[in-house]
């Protein structure tokens, strides 16, 4: 399905053929933990009716992706019946072209069909600074529970490994 097609940006459903391309590009960016298998898991969840997985093309090339889980069972808002936006990323060479904003717009439109609230988790290290700013511009606010790691809330004074898995949850009411 095509969700958007204007100004060099096309947003469509993720296809199996996207997995290798996106994984290869992420590897070139230094994201060594990103494997094609994660995209195949997303496609299985799509087939099981749990989510929608989208890819953005910029001038015909896969440039980014986003997933919307309709009734997420993870994190600060698990089990509330709210959709969760997961794994939004725009490849570095396509950033600053409106791809991320358009992916978010489409993900929010899809989320509105399921609830009056949507949420997401964002990393707290400097790698996620631009994403965090974009989410705030889109109206997301921190949930107030603090930091989470691997789906567990971190209590005060907890010793942790500070990596990409340390996140903060944010939500938006439509």
Query: Per-residue pLDDT tens for 98-118?
Result: 999 999 999 999 999 999 999
Cα torsion 160, 79, 19, 125 to 10°: value is -30
Positions in the chain short of pLDDT 50? none
For 1-59, the DSSP string reads -EEEEETTEEEEE--HHHHHHHHHHHHHTT-TT--HHHHHHHHHHHHTTSEEEEEEEET
pLDDT at 32: 62
What is the pTM for the complete model shown? Answer: 0.92
Which tens digits make up the pLDDT trace of 134-160? 999 999 999 999 999 988 999 989 888
pLDDT score of 161:
86
CA 72 centroid distance within chain: 13
What is the predicted pLDDT for the residue at 102?
A: 97
Which pLDDT score is estimated for 18?
Answer: 92
Determine the straight-line distance between the first and last CA of the chain, rounded to whole angstroms: 24
- Tell me, what's the pLDDT at 34? 61
Classified as helix, coil or strand, 93 is: helix
Q: Residues 2-173: name the CATH superfamily.
A: Gcn5-related N-acetyltransferase (GNAT) (3.40.630.30)
């Amino acid at each position: 399905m095509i969700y958007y097609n204007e100004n060099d940006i096309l947003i469509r459903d993720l296809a199996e053929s996207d997995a290798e391309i996106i994984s290869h590009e992420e590897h070139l960016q230094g994201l060594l933990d990103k494997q094609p298998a994660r995209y195949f898991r997303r496609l299985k969840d799509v087939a099981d009716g749990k989510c929608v997985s989208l890819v953005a093309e910029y001038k015909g090339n896969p440039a980014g992706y986003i997933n919307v889980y309709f009734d997420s069972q993870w994190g600060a808002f698990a089990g509330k019946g709210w959709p969760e936006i997961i794994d939004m990323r725009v490849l570095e060479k396509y950033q600053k072209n409106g791809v991320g904003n358009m992916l978010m717009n489409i993900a929010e439109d899809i989320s509105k069909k399921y609830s009056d609230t949507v949420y997401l988790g964002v990393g707290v290290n400097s790698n996620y600074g631009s994403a965090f700013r974009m989410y705030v511009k889109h109206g997301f606010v921190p949930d107030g529970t603090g930091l989470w790691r691997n789906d567990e809330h971190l209590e005060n004074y907890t010793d942790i490994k500070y990596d990409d898995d340390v996140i903060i949850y944010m939500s938006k009411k439509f």
